[in-house]
Chains A and B, each alone.
Chain A
Amino acid sequence: MKFEVSHRTTYRYSEPVVHSQHLVHLAPCSVANQRVTRHGLEIHPSPNRRVDWRDTFKNPVTFLEIERSHKELVLHARSTIETSAGIPTLPARTTPWDALDAALATGGTIDLDVVAYRCASHATTASLDIADYTRQSFPTGRPVLEACTDFMRRIYADFTFDAKATDVSTPISVVFAKRRGVCQDFAHLTLAGLRAMRVPARYVSGYILTHPPPGQPRMQGADASHAWVSVWSPEYGWQGLDPTNGIAAGEEHIVIAQGREYNDVCPISGVLLGGGEHSVDVSVDVAPLP
């Protein structure tokens, strides 16, 4: 499928910002089953400095420094992306989750790009309760992708989407206790559970195509950035699982960046001097192209 994505973020400040620095992860990357044909980032006011590079997770990242006083900042990313459905998976044929050690070290060399994602990070450290909850999907010898899919579906079934229940700093212990949150919370919780089982899993930041109710037109700008997880099996490599929607990630999922957790790939973060109170307005539009 082919998409045009528009992602416009507007910050408004009650006091002038005298100096600001931002890290931006808004450029989709070319990964398996995904090709980026065009990408542009407009910034207003225009930054005094802009540096683009690849971070240690191989995601494109942009640094911005703005030294002129401003009360409004707009970042508008526009991308054209083509995706394709991956090969169909047979989860029941994957290696048992408790036998991954051997598969991760072939020919005496450990695959560090995978092992790194077995370890809990700051935001994905599981409590004993979360580990116990997860373990129900992981009986001895169960194929890893089957166990992960089951676990992802349980989260989909047991948790309620509620944007008011949490904010960006809510720890997963609270999400777990409330059984509520947003896609980012569910992704972190899923990662915590999987890593407690030592299954390699990473955080994916991106977009998803939304479908308007039958008979209604698509609403402009009503989409949002999305997050899900990607798990590893020796048979299929990385495979996306979306606990917010209870499905495996497919050609309607568009990847921007991947890391250990949200903080590695946060779409826009910044540190300001001045600014007072701020409000932020995000408008995302994922439009399928013919």
Chain B
Amino acid sequence: MNKMTPTDLESMEDSEPVFQRMGLPGYDEAFDDNGRVRSHWAGVMSRFAQMSRGELQLRSDRLARRTREAGIDYDIFSDPSRPSQAWLLDLMPILIAAAQWRWLQTALTQRARLFDAILHDVYGPQKTLKKGIIPPELVFSDPTYLTPCRDILPKAGPLRFYAADLARDDNGLWRVIDSHTETLAGLGFAVANRVIHSHVVGDVMRGCNATRLAAFSQNLQNALSRHAGSENARIAVLTPGPQHQDYFSHAYIARYLGYLLVEGGDLRTRGEQLCLKTLEGLQDIDLVVRCLDGRNMDPLELYTTRLAGPAGLLRVNRDRPNLVVNAIGTGIVQNRGLGMHLGRLAEELLGEELMLPDAPRNWLGDSNDQRYVLENLDRFVIRNAQEGTGRPGQAMLGQEVRSMTSEQRDLLVRSIALDGSRLVAEEELGFSHAPVWQNDKATSRPFAIRFFVAHTGERYEVMPGGLAMSVDRGRAVALSTVDGHTRDVWILGEQDQQPHFSLWRPRLENARVERSQRVIQSRVADDLYWIGRYQERADWTMRVLRSAYRRISEDSGPSTEDLGAVHRCLSGMLADERGPVKRPSGTNIDVVEGMCSRLLSGSTSWRTLSVVCENLYRCANLARDRLSFEAWHTLSLFRPGDEFMNELSRATSQGAILDMLDVGLRWLSAFGGLTHENMTRNYGWHFLNLGRRVERAYNLSEVLANLFADVTDGEDEMSALRLVLELADSFITYRSRYRIDPSLPLVLDLLLLDQSNPRSLAFQLTEAMRDMSAFPSDKPSADLSEARGLLASALDEVRQADVVAMATPVGRKRLAELVRGQLVSLPQFSDALARHYFNPVEDMPHRVHTRSEAAP
């Protein structure tokens, strides 16, 4: 392919068109054989032709930035040694002309109807199996065929979601290369791509009259509400969790459609109900949109070794067949071996001729096919018949026989003889190609498209768009992308488009639904509480580091007294065991700097800034469907592997570190402001706030213990007072109030007792009490009483403090007791809170069973 690339476009005359025929093998989407632009591409081409190369690159960069900000990326918590692959969205769309689209719509909905009919037969009367139109062993060998669903699926209504991967062969004919009937198959990626693309090239899109997605999505929404039984139905998207590669897509589509995003652990069956574990107890769920493989949906009746879905779901589902879409068991029709039988099945079940066939394949469970393939082995690629849900672009490449050693071939031949019913053989297939703008250059790349079909109540509809991915023509037989390069798919309309309306703005009739769904899962409350804690911990740690670096990098050269307070503060934070901090001896810049770099990123302690930031990002990622986009963006600064976090571990110059700390603090305060201004004051917000209050109270108590528990000389105490005012961001308040140098009683008054100072201990504890009283309390427990009691007595202690007496040398003992008491009771409070609201015991279901072991 490389030798076909054109001469360097940069050296060409400006009058030369940016995009032109490349003469690559395969059908050219944009140019005919004479190099003329095909008519449906003319509009887009002329609009891009009006842009300078600089403009094209600018927009391309903006797409990359937006993609990154949206967070479409590979899971960052998986193996860090694996190079992470970015999701790339090209400036150029794939275009489908109106007439072509009409044909594709008919053909794709026919396939959806066909799969629906096959499913109802295979889980119902099984006529097609009895007659051998579908080889029974193809079905019975496939682990996605779930026999316990035979009394459920036929009553569950039509197959709801179907996605098809299409490629165009060298004659320009569309062929289906894979079908997906198990889950939503990356619908969220396609919608996200469209939203981002329309932000950057919306003008071109409008100019070309590309069809919008909103009408389709709205029909889908309405259909799902009807299927669930009411307009107020509580609908949940069930995801395997953030460790799953498609988690972004699950979270995105849940948010886009306005549904709850839940994990298996959030759900429980009880009697005839499927329930969500919320802060207010168990609440009924009316419909589950599953993004989990069918066989993992119920550990009691299905695949028993994984606890992914809620145990007992099938039993509930048996009485309420509408409860789950796609119905459990639908994965069977994505079996690749079915492809060659679809023509006959269409005749038999629909009485129609199949419009859009699969790419040619041989199912190796058939003895004739097996013999033919073994005789011509070099021509084939061998693949699993059933591949599971498959992330878009991640289809397995298969075993290419011609590049095998003779030992590998022998093994393959034996495997085919044994396991043929689980394998297919396919020949290479053509892919068409279309223009892209990559690395500052126009070129053309082969691709395949995933189209999405959904049943919207009366009929099947195809989403007017899709997810196109660039493939390697030499290797791919399915949607396997090597570099994560994707494209939006524009369907060119014949009529003018309806005015733009987006699902992000709910209409009046579904606003009510929205509100009723604002329940909080216990798990999410837990995550939000820890976002609050980590946010505050990161903020505090950055302030400590900033103060320390400022002191050691001052031009005038610091006095040792000045560093004494910083030293005590740092060594207190770095000490794993809490206890009286020893007076440092021989303080010098090197020691303090060493401590700073340990606190910055040099250790793995829970106090280390890089660890704190990583944890903050992790929790934010877990609860991101509860954060606004802006709030999420501010925290995505701390994504491991990104610039900020890399700099944090690399930076050595004090100036650079100070700059970074300033940046970090600004983003954290932006996040604080966003949650303060933009978040509804629901339970979630109160948990976030509570986390902050607890953490701030803890840090403040700790620094007071480290700096003032023991009496020090006047000069040192003065620098300690300045430090603590700086850390608590209360210097200006103090100055404006007292206009004298800091004195301990006044500082203690400001930082312990002053309820109007948002940095004082009394303020934190009062706010925490307020948050606690906002929570549901209809289920009293010993833990809840303990948590409330701990908080109330902590506040009492603070309020009764006599700051004047505590400031005297003899009163210091009392001060130390007070703040160290807080350091004990705050963690106890946090634990009791978790026991009551977050239910750690219940999160771990496990299985018991007996085995048969009669002796001979």
A interface, CB within 8 angstroms of B: 9, 11, 15, 18-19, 21, 23, 48-49, 51, 55-57, 63, 65, 67, 105, 108-110, 112, 115-116, 118-120, 122, 126, 128, 131, 156, 161, 163, 167-169, 182-184, 196, 205, 207-208, 210, 223-227, 244-246, 262-264, 266-275, 278, 280, 282
Q: Show 19 residue pairs from A and B whose CB-CB distance is below 8 angstroms, ordered by the A residue.
A: A119-B421, A128-B411, A163-B853, A168-B849, A182-B851, A183-B852, A184-B853, A207-B854, A210-B854, A226-B852, A262-B851, A264-B147, A267-B849, A269-B847, A269-B849, A270-B847, A271-B307, A278-B848, A280-B850
Task: Mark each residue of chain B from 817 to 856: 1 if its CB lies under 8 Å from any CB of chain A, else 0.
Answer: 0000000000000000000000001101111111111111
**Ordered nearest first, which 3 A-B pairs have the shortest CB separation?**
A271-B311, A226-B854, A119-B140
CB of B312 within 8 A of CB of A65, answer: yes
Interface residue ranges of B259-288 to A (CB < 8 Å): 268-271
Nearest CB to that of A282 among chain B residues?
B850
CB of B849 within 8 A of CB of A266, answer: yes
Distance A245 CA – B856 CA, assembled complex (angstroms): 5
Contact of A268 among B130, B307, B411, B850 (CB under 8 A): B850
Distance A268 CA – B854 CA, assembled complex (angstroms): 16
B136 interface residue (CB < 8 Å to A): yes
CB of B841 within 8 A of CB of A122, answer: no
The smallest beta-carbon distance between B140 and chain A, in angstroms, is: 4
CB of B848 within 8 A of CB of A224, answer: no
CB of A273 within 8 A of CB of B842, answer: yes
Contact of B130 among A56, A112, A169 (CB under 8 A): A112
Nearest CB to that of B422 among chain A residues?
A120
Which chain B residues lie closer than 8 Å to A245 at the CB level? 856
CB of A223 within 8 A of CB of B854, answer: yes
B132 interface residue (CB < 8 Å to A): yes
CB of B418 within 8 A of CB of A271, answer: no
Beyond the given A48-B271, A63-B315, A262-B852, could you list 10 further A-B residue pairs with CB under 8 A, ordered by the A residue number? Answer: A109-B131, A112-B126, A115-B137, A128-B414, A169-B305, A182-B852, A183-B852, A266-B849, A271-B846, A275-B848
B649 interface residue (CB < 8 Å to A): no
CB of B846 within 8 A of CB of A244, answer: no
CB of A21 within 8 A of CB of B853, answer: no
Distance A244 CA – B855 CA, assembled complex (angstroms): 8
Which chain B residues lie closer than 8 Å to A225 at the CB level? 850, 852-854
CB of B136 within 8 A of CB of A120, answer: no
Which chain A residues lie closer than 8 Å to B849 at the CB level? 168, 266-270
The smallest beta-carbon distance between A243 and chain B, in angstroms, is: 9
Distance A187 CA – B682 CA, assembled complex (angstroms): 57
Interface residue ranges of B315-360 to A (CB < 8 Å): 315
Nearest CB to that of A274 among chain B residues?
B841
Which chain A residues lie closer than 8 Å to B269 at the CB level? 21
Which chain A residues lie closer than 8 Å to B271 at the CB level? 48-49, 65
Known: A122-B143, A271-B845. A21 touches B852 (CB 8 A): no
Interface residue ranges of B409-434 to A (CB < 8 Å): 411, 414-415, 418-419, 421
CB of A208 within 8 A of CB of B131, answer: no
The smallest beta-carbon distance between B415 and chain A, in angstroms, is: 7
Which chain A residues lie closer than 8 Å to B847 at the CB level? 269-272
CB of A271 within 8 A of CB of B850, answer: no
Task: Mark each residue of chain B from 392 to 417: 1 if its CB lies under 8 Å from any CB of chain A, else 0.
Answer: 00000000000000000001001100
B141 interface residue (CB < 8 Å to A): yes
The smallest beta-carbon distance between A171 and chain B, in angstroms, is: 11
Distance A246 CA – B421 CA, assembled complex (angstroms): 31
The smallest beta-carbon distance between B26 and chain A, in angstroms, is: 39
Which chain B residues lie closer than 8 Å to A278 at the CB level? 848
Which chain A residues lie closer than 8 Å to B494 at the CB level? none
CB of B854 within 8 A of CB of A56, answer: no
Known: A108-B131, A161-B856. A271 touches B312 (CB 8 A): yes
Known: A110-B129, A272-B845. A116 touches B855 (CB 8 A): no
The smallest beta-carbon distance between A212 and chain B, in angstroms, is: 13
CB of B852 within 8 A of CB of A224, answer: yes
The smallest beta-carbon distance between B126 and chain A, in angstroms, is: 6
Contact of B848 among A67, A262, A272 (CB under 8 A): A272
Which chain B residues lie closer than 8 Å to A182 at the CB level? 851-854
Contact of A269 among B270, B300, B315, B418 (CB under 8 A): B300
Which chain B residues lie closer than 8 Å to A128 at the CB level? 411, 414-415, 418
CB of B854 within 8 A of CB of A269, answer: no
The smallest beta-carbon distance between A16 and chain B, in angstroms, is: 10
Known: A112-B129, A118-B140, A278-B848. A161 touches B312 (CB 8 A): no
CB of B312 within 8 A of CB of A21, answer: yes
The smallest beta-carbon distance between B125 and chain A, in angstroms, is: 11
Known: A21-B269, A23-B301. A275 touches B846 (CB 8 A): yes
Which chain B residues lie closer than 8 Å to A56 at the CB level? 147-148, 150-151
Interface centre among B304, B418, B844 (most CB of A within 10 A): B418
Distance A46 CA – B300 CA, assembled complex (angstroms): 20
Distance A106 CA – B303 CA, assembled complex (angstroms): 34
Nearest CB to that of A247 among chain B residues?
B856
B299 interface residue (CB < 8 Å to A): yes
Distance A107 CA – B72 CA, assembled complex (angstroms): 56
Which chain B residues lie closer than 8 Å to A196 at the CB level? 418
Nearest CB to that of A168 among chain B residues?
B851
Which chain A residues lie closer than 8 Å to B415 at the CB level? 128
Known: A128-B415, A183-B853, A244-B856. A119 touches B848 (CB 8 A): no
Known: A110-B136, A120-B141, A182-B853. A11 touches B848 (CB 8 A): yes
Known: A63-B315, A184-B852. A271 touches B300 (CB 8 A): yes
The smallest beta-carbon distance between B290 and chain A, in angstroms, is: 19
Nearest CB to that of A265 among chain B residues?
B852
Distance A63 CA – B311 CA, assembled complex (angstroms): 12
Distance A262 CA – B850 CA, assembled complex (angstroms): 11
Which chain B residues lie closer than 8 Å to A223 at the CB level? 854
CB of B852 within 8 A of CB of A269, answer: no
Distance A53 CA – B151 CA, assembled complex (angstroms): 11
CB of B852 within 8 A of CB of A110, answer: no
Nearest CB to that of B414 among chain A residues?
A128
Which chain A residues lie closer than 8 Å to B848 at the CB level? 11, 268-270, 272, 275, 278, 280
